[in-house]
Structure 1
Amino acid sequence: MSEPLPSDPCTLYVCTTCRDAADPAEGPRAGARLHDALAQALAARPGLPVRIEPVECLSVCKRPCTVAVASPGRWTYVYGDLDPAISADVILDGIGLYAGTPDGIVPWRERPQEFRKGVVARIPPAPVTA
């Protein structure tokens, strides 16, 4: 398998079932609000090589709101503790940096503060099988 190009698209998975402690029993959960904010922010950034996918659960319930970024041949990252009201642009900035690398590894100091503080997991690329 060839190494991904910096322009290859990546997928941003957004846990839509994440619940904030302040969420009302009825109404959209924090994760769904984050997904909506990200979709709106992405629409304002044509050309950013990212696809946003809602997912039912990322199993990081103690650190809502949670997203994961993945791309073939790159490391996958899971980030938590994101604020649905203000994090969309920061997340997309970080994903833009991720998309600009061949392996998904953005130097620590270049990552947005929310990614440095909120990293939950870093998962190696899946091996290529013949």
Structure 2
Amino acid sequence: MAQDMLFICILCRASHTEEVQASLSEGQSLFDRLQAGLETSDEKHHIRLQPVRCMGACDRACTAAFIAPNKLTFMLSQLSPIDSVPDLLEFSCQYIATSDGKVPYKDRPATIKQKIHAVLPPLPSQS
């Protein structure tokens, strides 16, 4: 069965300073906090958190992408490694619950509404 995925760029370094562990990039901190949140969530068996080394949006760090077969892809940027975690976890549940990734705008958490970098259509089905 195909699985919904949440990609997080672990190399991202935000231009502003937040209180995160000095030895970690902000992207790695975001990944670690999401991983801890998913471990205590019922959704941990449904979304796969995947670290990536670069998503090509270095000037808009921290970046993430929700992706799954036959669903919209949501690319997010300028995420806080601390403040965005609850909203990303909430959106993970919403994204998983849809068959096409179309979470109604009015239902999306604030971080998702504010930090969308791009929404990409699903790949066309090969017939």
Please show how residues 30-45 of structure 1 align to structure 2 within 5 Å: 30-45=26-41
Alignment partner of 2:23 out of 12, 23, 27: 27
Secondary structure of 1:62's partner?
helix
3-state SS, counterpart of residue 126 of structure 1: coil
SS at match of 2:60: coil
Q: Specify the SS of the correspondent of 2:6.
A: strand
Q: State how far apart, in whole Å, the 2-side matches of 1:35 and 1:20 are.
A: 14
Which one-letter code corresponds to 1:28 in the other structure? L
Q: Secondary structure at the match of 1:69?
A: strand
* Residue matched to 1:114: 111
In the other structure, the counterpart of 1:94 is 91
Which of 92, 98, 101 is residue 104 of structure 1 equivalent to? 101
Q: Kindly state the Cα deviation for residue 86 of structure 1 after the two structures are TM-superposed.
A: 2.3
In structure 1, the gaps of 5 or more residues are: none
**Displacement, 1:46?**
2.8
Partner Cα separation in structure 1 for residue 118 and residue 43 of structure 2:
27
Please, which of 62, 66, 84 is the counterpart of residue 63 of structure 2?
66
Q: Name the structure 1 match of 2:42.
A: 46
Structure with greater helix share of residues: 2
Q: Note the C-alpha offset of 1:20.
A: 1.7
Match of 1:14 in 2: 8
Q: Equivalent pairs: percent with the same residue?
A: 29
Provide the C-alpha distance between the structure 1 equivalents of 2:79 and 2:43, rounded to a whole number of angstroms.
24
Mean Cα displacement is larger for which, 15-24 or 72-81? 15-24
Q: How many residues align?
A: 123
SS at match of 2:31: helix
Taking the aligned partners of 1:47 and 1:78, their CA distance within structure 2 comes to 20
Root-mean-square deviation over aligned CA pairs: 2.0
User: How many Å apart are 1:55 and its aligned residue?
Assistant: 0.2
- Name the amino acid aligned to 1:33: S
Offset, 1:100: 0.7
Provide, for residues 17-42 of structure 1, a one-character-per-residue CA deviation record: whole Å limited to 9, x for no partner.
Answer: 11022379x72100000000000000
The TM-score, its normalising length taken from structure 1, stands at: 0.86
